[in-house]
Structure 1
Amino acid sequence: MSITDALLAFTFSAALLTLTPGLDTALILRTSTIEGTRKAIQTQIGINAGCLAWAAAVACGLGALIAVSELAYNLLKWTGAAYLAWLGVKMLFKPRSKMGEVRLAQGKQNGFLRGFFGNLLNPKVGIFYVSFLPQFIPTGHSPVLWTFGLVLIHLLLGTLWSALLIGCTRRLSSVLKRGKVVKWLDRSTGAVFLLFAARLALSRRPG
């Protein structure tokens, strides 16, 4: 596979992955709608940092360890599931009722850390990188440099997608910030987080 073919194939595959609704999309939508553009941008930066941390881990061999070690995979899996469940329960059973209340209650929460740990505590990201990225590394080229290069392409696509989501929610902000809608968004996102927590807890290590 030539360098051009590898880049085009990976960009297309990563774009499909990015557009597939998942935890990151739900987190960005909810944060942008309820907490505003600034917190949503912080969250996206945190997600990107989590991806870079996974890239470094994969480049150093940790991703391969998680892929082959049942204990390492389960440890990270249950930690991630517990974190998602904690976030989900808070949103589901303690939804906000208005924007002022959201800002007061959530002002001290760090959007960056929320996005970072939400991504870092998902072992499937590491499994994806360790199993997916090598397919697009041309023979004879540095696996470390190409791992980071491909992850940067993934991050660029994710950032563009998040910017589009944030822009759409800003146009609808007057509707989305109504009390009943705020409660619905909190509870819906909480339910989604609990669903992802359950899926993660019931998942098995590939292979």
Structure 2
Amino acid sequence: MLGIQHFDAFLLACIALNLTPGLDTFYILARSGREGRAVGMGAVLGINAGCVVHTLAAVLGISAILMTSVWAFSVLKYLGAAYLIWVGLRMLMTRQTARQPTETRGRGAAAAFRQGMLTNVLNPKVALFYLAFLPQFVDRHATHPQLGLLVLGLSFIGTGMTWSTVLALAGSHIHSLLQRRPRVGLWMDRVCGGVLLGFGVKLALQRQS
């Protein structure tokens, strides 16, 4: 009825994709290492909330607009790039002393959730990925192919949530080290900011495929 095909191969592909390092991996490790487990889990939930948005967009056909409309793709691309560059520059400009932890806007679990969700939702390549990847495992002649896409999308999110949680827990072990050595945290902010800035520039230069 749902038309799902080769579900075992789909799950294997999901695991392989989740294990491949990318912006999400780096962001979760950075937030959990810098601010602890709770903030890392905020980032995890935010990123996966963004994945829910992309899944629903793929099911409803909204993502197809990004594939056919150069204007819509460009608007979303530049919004996402600008946001990544803004977050990256703010981290690069962080100031910290040896006795005072970094204090910037955007700290805490709520901020990590918001930033994680926005970096995911505002990336048109993620939307196009969902639109191109999920339909390969659903028979378009099925009675309810949209429900099949929804099940596959939620399955992908489930595997991603599992791996993301592992990353957040691993990153939290760095947190105690950074509390004892504030200057290490300062340089971590610099590295994180530089990488986010690089991802933003890369996104801005990407072309619609």
Fold match, TM over 0.5? Answer: yes
Does 2:178 match 1:180?
no
Residue of structure 1 equivalent to 2:150: 148
Superposed CA offset, 1:49-71 (max 9, x none)? 11111111111111111011100
* SS class of match (1:173): helix
Superposed CA offset, 1:145-172 (max 9, x none)? 1222111121111111122112222334
Which ranges of structure 1 fall in alignment gaps of 5 or more residues?
none
The one of 174, 180, 189 aligned to 2:192: 189
Does the C-alpha gap of structure 1 residues 88 and 172 become closer, same or farther in structure 2, counting only changes over 3 Å? closer
Q: Distance in 2 between matches of 1:107 and 1:99?
A: 20
Residue of structure 2 equivalent to 1:198: 201
Residue of structure 2 equivalent to 1:18: 18
Residue of structure 2 equivalent to 1:161: 163
Superposed CA offset, 1:25-65 (max 9, x none)? 11100110111111111111111111111111111111111
User: Size of the alignment, in residue pairs?
Assistant: 205
* SS class of match (1:140): coil
Matching residue's letter, 1:21: P
Deviates most, 92-101 or 121-130: 92-101
Q: Distance in 2 between matches of 1:8 and 1:148?
A: 16
Aligned pairs (5 A) from 1:18-97: 18-94=18-94, 96=96
1:50–1:119 CA contact under 8 A, matched in 2: yes
Deviates most, 126-135 or 163-172: 163-172
Q: Distance in 1 between matches of 2:100 and 2:192?
A: 19
Matching residue's letter, 2:139: P
1:35–1:103 CA contact under 8 A, matched in 2: no
Deviates most, 143-152 or 174-183: 174-183
Deviates most, 175-184 or 82-91: 175-184
Residue of structure 2 equivalent to 1:133: 134
Matching residue's letter, 2:92: L
2:91–2:192 CA contact under 8 A, matched in 1: yes
Does the C-alpha gap of structure 1 residues 134 and 108 become closer, same or farther in structure 2, counting only changes over 3 Å? closer
Which ranges of structure 2 fall in alignment gaps of 5 or more residues?
none
Matching residue's letter, 2:20: T
Does 2:122 match 1:121?
yes
Matching residue's letter, 1:116: M
Does the C-alpha gap of structure 1 residues 4 and 73 become closer, same or farther in structure 2, counting only changes over 3 Å? closer
Does the C-alpha gap of structure 1 residues 139 and 64 become closer, same or farther in structure 2, counting only changes over 3 Å? closer
Q: Considering only aligned residues, what root-mean-square deviation do their CA atoms show, in Å? A: 2.3
Superposed CA offset, 1:153-196 (max 9, x none)? 21111111122112222334332432122112111111111111
Matching residue's letter, 1:157: T
2:42–2:112 CA contact under 8 A, matched in 1: yes
* SS class of match (1:110): helix
Superposed CA offset, 1:64-106 (max 9, x none)? 1101110010000000000000001011122555696346752
